Chains A and B, each alone.
Chain A
């Protein structure tokens, strides 16, 4: 038998258990991953050129791909050198903005999720659709390159 009891907003806020809220776990995890990406961009510098990620596409074909120079671009954006960042990879800024927007959205949606328990289902749908659209806008050139490669 399931018993429901109306709780005050404050009580609900306090009693949100992470274990029973997969949405919050996912949000926290992604926020952590994005912060790691930003930290990676900050730690590895374009001057030293000590990036551990190697382009598999370039290794296989010998030709640089659309995403080559993305790490350099991120590092330069973090350091405020926007013009140079565009020179390394023209799509670097839009991908970086995607990650930054996702970081903000993870915190914002988590807060809304805890505060407004009645609208959780709508919130998850809005988040999924919105993030999907932002993803497609940010990664559209890469998606197009895949489509061109196949067809």
Chain B
């Protein structure tokens, strides 16, 4: 059985600057939770927002996983998804559902190859960011109360690992002016890295705790501007990829063992960012970013070595996420209007997008039905 888990994010810098610590709530057209991940065997799982985007109550998040015949609906059952979905940790079969309505807990559901298996867990409310939950042997989550809690596995009682207050009090935390925790990753050796949002330019906003140590060390700044961590993803063979926003631009860096190597600037504007797909632990830290381009939407791969070419022509503005070509599968763009999800595949010969599938998803409540 192939195991997949996914995490994702759109984070526009204006919102990042304005949101209160650890309690960001999106009311705009899209959500920072829209995006996806590619698993170790090339299966892509994406999260898209459906229904009425401007209405929290009527906006539902749905999960689609690539299969031989296109993307199939794989949203976990048994918990409402109008708060959002995090699909994270490629090797850990993990999705988290964020109900929003006066609910201070998050349902975590195991997925196997995009399919839900019995036995979900309920944990303290997760922060609504794509990598605020990570499972790689052990489980670690960033809560909406500014804590990082963890356990040996999802069924164990979660214990506090650190808090925003603790990290803010460290030398790097003070230099950074840490305002929120936004990401966590469990590395292959069970070391943990936590990412946050900095008010000052003195640090990267990434903190590491090595296995066997109780000390947190902050990593140095990569940019003269304040930076924010968008994603942290484990890499094969140790370490992690970090997707950061600094100076209005998105940068991919490689971290681990107390160091952070600055990548080549991607050229992608943080404000234009609509969705990010992590292309898997074996991708050497590659991401596919979907961005606003003119009046439409376009996508390209970025990595520590710089940006790749644009994937196909500009797409309609309703496009939420683009999955690049993987192995023998063509690139696919997923657009949503209300309750209808439309897939467009990129024809490699003609270089054009063509509609390859369409699905209507019954939105369970509210006026979106």
* Bind each other: no
